[in-house]
Structure 1
Amino acid sequence: MRLYLLPLATMQPGNIPVPGYVIQTDDNINILIDTGWPRSFIDNPQNPPGLIVEMSAEDSIVSRLSSIGLSPLDIHYLVCSHLDDDHSGNHDLFTSAELIIQREHYALAKSGHPRFAANRGVWGGASLNYRVINGDMELVPGVELLETSGHVPGHQSLLVRLPRTGPVLLAVDAVMHSSMADAATREMYITDMDDELRIRASTQKICDVANRENATLVIYGHDSEQWSTLHHAPAYYD
């Protein structure tokens, strides 16, 4: 099994990474986690308040997949951590994949919540095949989905058990930065949508799973300091 880290954009100030991830299993199942900002941002970035999105043609999800010999049609599963614009901007390309999302989150987004409305034409297309799940689930052997509501209701993270590297936790936005990894002391961030109890609970869950599994790596969702130390595609962890 291999884990690829895909750089899909950078946000300034602070060189904040926008990652995606690909897991390739030994039986050639390709799992993509998140698709980054909309590809239209390459020529026309729509900067969120206080940030500048830097996205080149090389950063597009199609280009990053191509760097490891894949195209959108090769993806079997697209795991939707959540539907914020910087995570769901290119879902419409993955019409051959099964999109895996938490029921609570999908229902919230489909209800018309304004946080997810701007990109609904991309993630909400009728040609997309969603599988709605409830809670933690083993997707394939060695890949476990973890329900981590807090940043948004129905957020999900992943545990990947790699044969040589060992267990790797993809916290995604349940824990965006290593400075937020302590459930008791973490500050609430402006983009955290859910109530404080659920945010602290999901933070603690990431910590508990990492300790239980003796995780080699916990990869935080937007940690510029950590990101600069990691292997990026076409390099991989196995």
Structure 2
Amino acid sequence: MKRAISLATVLLSAALSVDIGHAQTGRPGVEKLYILNCGEGVAGDISRWSPGVNEGKSMDFVDNCYLIRHAQGWFLWDTGIADAVAAMPAGLAPADPKATHWRRPKTLAAQLDELGVKPADLKGMAVSHTHPDHVGNVEMFPATMLYVQKAEYEWPAANNQPRFKPEHPVTKLEGDHDVFGDGSVTILSTPGHTPGHQSLLVKLPKTGAVILSGDAVHFKANWDNRGVPSMNVNKDQTLASMQKLSEMLTREKAQLWINHDKAQRDTLKMSPMFYD
């Protein structure tokens, strides 16, 4: 009798373990998404991004970073203009007057501190690509796993210098990647702007699906007209990546959040407010 009870107890315990495990995997993965101010500036001539259109016209640009609270931990997407620019009274002027003159109204460090998040709290991070307005603060998180496309990681910088410190932990991707293994945060390979450019699909429990563009597109008119910036490394890849995003937006019934589009960002909630 004792043996029967013991066996029944073991079986019940095993069943409960399975149920609890199933319940855990069924939890909403992403809990919150914060939009951080990672730079503001003025683009001198937006025809750089849409050749043949708006010659000589300037436009206000913004630079967003995104902090994601997942059940498994914190994840940061892009790191913006270097925090050091916040101490420059005149901002960071570009060598090319047609490019963007950046300012840093708030540091990334201060915004994380406001949320009670320390650099060591991050479980992972990724950058859309390696242009300075997206990787300015990568080394604020020296021990955090960095997810980047292999093609981007191996793309030589000026004077053939590496784009990241060799000692920074990295996962080199070759295509799309499910960050947490539950489909809630997926890195999308969208090359063209740079060799290993990537975008991010985030599935929020209440807001729904959102695609963070990176620089696969720079502003709404650029997206609507499928404009390919003159500085992009590959026009065909750029157009294919835009098509990939378009199809995913339809399939996932997702919103497209365009990283540098000030008009759109002005309609969104900024940290410490969040989307869930």
TM-score normalized with structure 2 length: 0.77
Residues 1:20 and 2:50 are matched in the alignment: no
For 2:86, the equivalent position in structure 1 comes to 42
Amino acid at match of 2:149: Q
Q: 8 Å contact 1:148–1:155 — kept in the other structure? A: yes
For 1:105 and 1:115, locate their aligned partners in 2 and report how far apart those are by CA, in whole Å: 16
When structure 1 is superposed on structure 2, of 200-209 and 33-42 the one drifting more is 33-42
Structure 1 residues 64 and 190, CA gap change in structure 2 (3 angstroms): farther
Q: Give the alignment of 1:193-212 within 5 angstroms.
A: 194-212=233-251
Q: 8 Å contact 2:153–2:164 — kept in the other structure? A: no
For 1:105 and 1:79, locate their aligned partners in 2 and report how far apart those are by CA, in whole Å: 12
Q: Give the alignment of 1:1-238 within 5 angstroms.
A: 1-12=31-42, 14-27=59-72, 29-44=73-88, 45-48=91-94, 49-50=96-97, 51-56=100-105, 59-108=106-155, 111=156, 113-114=157-158, 124-140=164-180, 141=182, 142-182=184-224, 185-192=225-232, 194-215=233-254, 217-238=255-276
User: What percentage of aligned pairs have identical amino acids?
Assistant: 29
Amino acid at match of 1:46: L
Q: 8 Å contact 1:85–1:116 — kept in the other structure? A: no
Determine helix, strand or coil for the equivalent of 2:143.
coil
Q: 1:115: Cα distance to partner?
A: 9.3
Amino acid at match of 1:220: I
Determine helix, strand or coil for the equivalent of 1:157.
strand
Determine helix, strand or coil for the equivalent of 1:6.
strand
Amino acid at match of 1:99: L
Once the two structures are superposed, residues 153-196 of structure 1 have per-residue CA deviations (whole angstroms, 9 ceiling, x without a partner) of: 110101001100001111111112121224xx42222332x221
For 2:167 and 2:150, locate their aligned partners in 1 and report how far apart those are by CA, in whole Å: 19
Q: 1:96: Cα distance to partner?
A: 2.4
Q: Structure 1 regions of 5+ residues with no counterpart?
A: none
For 2:153 and 2:137, locate their aligned partners in 1 and report how far apart those are by CA, in whole Å: 16
Q: 8 Å contact 2:146–2:170 — kept in the other structure? A: yes
Once the two structures are superposed, residues 114-154 of structure 1 have per-residue CA deviations (whole angstroms, 9 ceiling, x without a partner) of: 2996xx6xx62244111111100101120011000011111
Q: 1:76: Cα distance to partner?
A: 1.1
Q: Structure 2 regions of 5+ residues with no counterpart?
A: 1-30, 44-58
For 1:179 and 1:166, locate their aligned partners in 2 and report how far apart those are by CA, in whole Å: 24
Amino acid at match of 2:83: R
Determine helix, strand or coil for the equivalent of 2:128.
coil
For 1:191 and 1:54, locate their aligned partners in 2 and report how far apart those are by CA, in whole Å: 22
For 2:262 and 2:240, locate their aligned partners in 1 and report how far apart those are by CA, in whole Å: 24
Amino acid at match of 2:240: A
Structure 1 residues 175 and 36, CA gap change in structure 2 (3 angstroms): same
Q: 8 Å contact 1:82–1:88 — kept in the other structure? A: yes
Count residues with an aligned counterpart.
224
Once the two structures are superposed, residues 26-65 of structure 1 have per-residue CA deviations (whole angstroms, 9 ceiling, x without a partner) of: 24x1000111111221224432223321213xx2111111
Once the two structures are superposed, residues 174-227 of structure 1 have per-residue CA deviations (whole angstroms, 9 ceiling, x without a partner) of: 112121224xx42222332x2211110011111111000011x21012101101
TM-score normalized with structure 1 length: 0.88
